[in-house]
């Protein structure tokens, strides 16, 4: 059927395109393409924001944006792959003997070229997007270094402790003032851990004898969960503690209550 049409190709490229898009399998594939693309767009746009915790920093915001937007950008590619696949599936041949042979297309230069270039562009988008975000975060960290408060984080099997050198307090809860940049200096008293204040969207491993550093600026008031994201033995699952981003006044009051002094 399809081959029959191919035999009487119309002379001009425009007419060939028109005929191509009138082929039933092409029409079906196009509809499936729209369907699958929409599915992926919805998956990305609706579900990720729904699942993710409260976004309390620009870092988490940018992680969420990557998850949502990369899904949207890849939706047409996924849509095309799934459209062709599901069209073939719907077109199946049942029975105990093989179907008749299909067209002997061994390759199609332009298709391979366009496909490769598209995936190259797609990879470039992902790379440039990532590098831009990383650069933005590095610039912000450098800019905010002076105004930042420092929290020294120590992971020990199976608890986190926090030292606020400027405030002179040590605690097992991570409280932070809103809008003030913070630098976490992270180390471990024993095996590897990974410091993960979930709602702040940053993470860095805690190692013995070396200090690793991450920066963020809490943008919203609310509770944060501090977890360990690196398997560290028996009670890794329970290596969690709570904390909060609070107004500056509340933070100062908390520091005072802990016996510290406000810088």
CA distance 238 to 223: 18
Minimum CB distance to another protein, residue 211 (Å): 8
Residues within window 58-117 making contact with another protein, judged by CB under 8 A? 59-60, 62-64, 66-67, 70-71, 74, 77-78, 80-82, 84-85, 88-89, 91-108, 111-112, 115-116
Closer to Cu ion by CB, 23 or 236: give it.
236
Q: Would you list the DSSP string of 129-165? A: HHHHHHHHHHHHHHHHTTT-EEEEEEEETTEEEEEET
Closest by CA position to 206, among listed 233, 185, 175: 185
Q: What does the binding site for Cu ion look like in residue numbers (CB under 5 A)?
A: 193, 228, 232, 236, 239
Part of the chain binding another protein (CB under 8 A), chosen from 143-151, 175-183, 190-198, 246-254: 190-198
CB of 71 to another protein, least distance (A): 7
Q: Which is nearer to another protein, 43 or 148 (CB)?
A: 43
Stated as kind and residue range, the H or E segment containing 233 is: none
Nearer to another protein, 210 or 248 (CB): 210
131 sits near another protein (criterion: CB under 8 A): yes
Minimum separation from the CB atom of position 2 to another protein (A): 6
Work out which of 153, 198, 245, 255 binds another protein, going by CB under 8 A. Answer: 198
Instruction: Give just the sign of the alpha carbon dihedral 50, 231, 233, 156.
Output: negative
Residue of the chain from 10, 42, 120, 142 that contacts another protein (CB under 8 A): 120
Interface region with another protein, contact rule CB under 8 A, candidates 11-19, 144-152, 195-203, 245-253:
195-203
Sign of CA dihedral 101, 104, 105, 107: positive
Nearer to another protein, 175 or 199 (CB): 199
**If residue 180 lies in a helix (H) or strand (E), which one and from where to where?**
none
Please give the order of strands across the beta sheet that includes 241-246. Answer: 174-177, 241-246, 222-228, 193-197, 204-206
User: Cα separation of 171 and 189, whole Å?
Assistant: 16
CA angle 73, 79, 82 (to 5 degrees): 140
Residue 237 touches another protein, criterion: CB under 8 A: yes
Which two tokens mark 169? 């307090």
The stretch near another protein (CB under 8 A) out of 13-21, 47-55, 145-153, 248-256 is 47-55
């Amino acid at each position: 059927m399809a081959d029959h049409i191919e035999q009487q190709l119309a002379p001009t490229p425009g007419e060939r395109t028109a005929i191509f898009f009138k082929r039933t399998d092409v029409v079906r594939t196009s509809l499936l393409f729209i369907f699958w693309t929409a599915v992926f767009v919805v998956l990305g746009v609706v579900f990720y924001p729904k699942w993710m915790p409260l976004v309390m920093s620009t870092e988490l915001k940018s992680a969420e944006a990557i998850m949502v937007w990369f899904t949207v950008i890849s939706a047409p590619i996924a849509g095309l792959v799934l459209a062709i696949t599901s069209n073939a599936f719907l077109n199946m041949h049942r029975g105990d003997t093989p179907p008749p042979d299909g067209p002997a297309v061994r390759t199609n230069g332009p298709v391979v070229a366009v496909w490769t270039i598209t995936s190259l562009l797609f990879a470039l988008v992902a790379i440039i997007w990532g590098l831009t975000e990383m650069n933005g975060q590095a610039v912000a960290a450098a800019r905010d270094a002076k105004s930042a408060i420092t929290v020294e984080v120590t992971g020990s099997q199976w608890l986190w402790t926090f030292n606020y050198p400027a405030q002179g307090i040590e605690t097992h809860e991570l409280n932070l003032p809103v809008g003030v940049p913070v630098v976490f200096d992270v180390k471990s008293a024993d095996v590897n851990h990974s410091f993960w204040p979930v709602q702040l969207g940053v993470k860095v491993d805690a190692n013995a004898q070396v200090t690793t550093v991450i920066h963020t600026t809490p943008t919203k008031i609310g509770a944060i969960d501090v977890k360990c994201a690196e398997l560290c033995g028996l009670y890794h699952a329970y290596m969690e503690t709570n904390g909060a981003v609070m107004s500056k006044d509340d933070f100062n009051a908390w520091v005072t209550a802990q016996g510290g002094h406000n810088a």
